[in-house]
């Protein structure tokens, strides 16, 4: 079995909050976010087919430094068979597993649950605003509605909260797409879902800084400044005030991961 990948990093300290990991990038994606920072991976440029057994072997050689393998993309759930085999192989070797997903394939997330230790899920816009979600993921509103994409993202979130011991819920903050109110609305909606699942011990809320690059697909975002860390801190403090059960919010920037706690 082969996987189409862009590569891997033997040691990453930024992909899982509080855990060093081996990170692999799977190619291809079912979203077309105009601000995507991994666009060459989405378009499968500079990607290659690699035997899953070889990737697993490389990951297991990192066990002295890391406990986890983290698979990101692109969207890894598009390569379910290869992903499943990779997780099986590394778990047999004693590693823990993590998946980074956009949540649009909850049926795959559910099938992977027995093999997963950690889930990172992107919430790209308020879950009640289909138009805003469509803008954020670069797809026509009609397609997003017809394929029930936002409902599928919610379903993936519910699966993670029900079955896994840790789920990192990530909220990108992108200039020209997300206002402060948009992000707060998304945070409040996710908090309601976490409340309903009685899963606050599992949920980690993360605000993600947007960092532009020359490979971002839309010129509108290519030259935008990165998200101001002070805006992220402002949103975090507001969320902590407005969500009773939320005790901490993480901010992930290009420089570091910062934890902001409720006083």
- For 48, the domain range is 2-261
DSSP per-residue string spanning 158-211: HHHHHH-S-EEEEEEE-TTT--HHHHHHHHHHHHHHHHHHT-TTTEEEEEEE--
Strand, coil or helix: what is 130? Answer: helix
Q: Give pLDDT, residue 46.
A: 87
Q: How many domains are contained in the chain?
A: 1
The parts of the chain modelled with pLDDT lower than 70 are none
Tell me the pTM.
0.96
Q: Give pLDDT, residue 263.
A: 80
Express each pLDDT in 126-138 by its tens digit: 999 999 999 999 9
The secondary structure of the chain in percent helix, strand, coil, rounded to multiples of 5, reads: 40, 25, 35
Q: How far apart are CA 114 and CA 89, in angstroms?
A: 13
Residue 54: in which H helix or E strand, if any?
Answer: helix 52-60
Express each pLDDT in 60-107 by its tens digit: 999 999 999 999 999 999 999 999 999 999 999 999 999 999 999 999
Q: Give pLDDT, residue 255.
A: 86
Side-chain-side CA neighbours of 165 within 13 Å: the count stands at 7
User: In this structure, what CATH number is given to the domain that contains residue 150?
Assistant: 3.20.20.70
Q: Give pLDDT, residue 248.
A: 98
Residue 112: in which H helix or E strand, if any?
Answer: helix 106-112
Q: Give the dihedral of Cα atoms 157, 159, 160, 164; nearest 10 deg.
A: 170
Q: How far apart are CA 63 and CA 125, in angstroms?
A: 36
């Amino acid at each position: 079995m082969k996987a189409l990948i862009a590569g891997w990093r033997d040691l990453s300290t930024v992909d899982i909050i509080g855990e060093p990991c081996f990170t692999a990038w799977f190619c291809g994606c079912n979203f077309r976010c105009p601000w995507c920072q991994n666009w060459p991976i989405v378009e499968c440029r500079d990607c290659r087919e690699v035997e899953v057994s070889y990737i697993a072997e490389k990951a297991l050689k990192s066990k002295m430094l890391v406990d986890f393998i983290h698979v990101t993309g692109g969207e890894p759930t598009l390569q379910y068979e290869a992903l499943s085999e990779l997780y099986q192989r590394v778990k047999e070797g004693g590693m823990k597993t993590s998946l980074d997903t956009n949540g649009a394939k909850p049926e795959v997330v559910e099938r992977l649950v027995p093999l997963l230790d950690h889930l990172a899920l992107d919430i790209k816009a308020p879950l009640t605003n289909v138009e805003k979600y469509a803008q954020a993921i670069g797809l026509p509103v009609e397609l997003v509605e017809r394929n029930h994409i936002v409902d599928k993202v919610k379903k993936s979130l519910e699966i993670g909260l029900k079955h896994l011991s840790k789920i990192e819920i990530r909220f990108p903050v992108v200039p020209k797409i997300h206002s402060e109110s948009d992000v707060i609305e998304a945070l409040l909606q996710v908090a309601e879902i976490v409340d309903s699942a009685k899963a606050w011990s599992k949920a980690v809320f993360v605000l993600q800084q947007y960092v532009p690059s020359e490979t971002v697909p839309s010129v509108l975002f290519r030259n935008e400044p990165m998200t101001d860390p002070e805006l992220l801190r402002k949103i975090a403090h507001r969320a902590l005030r407005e969500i009773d059960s939320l005790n901490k919010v993480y901010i992930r920037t290009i420089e570091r991961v910062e934890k902001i706690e409720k006083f």
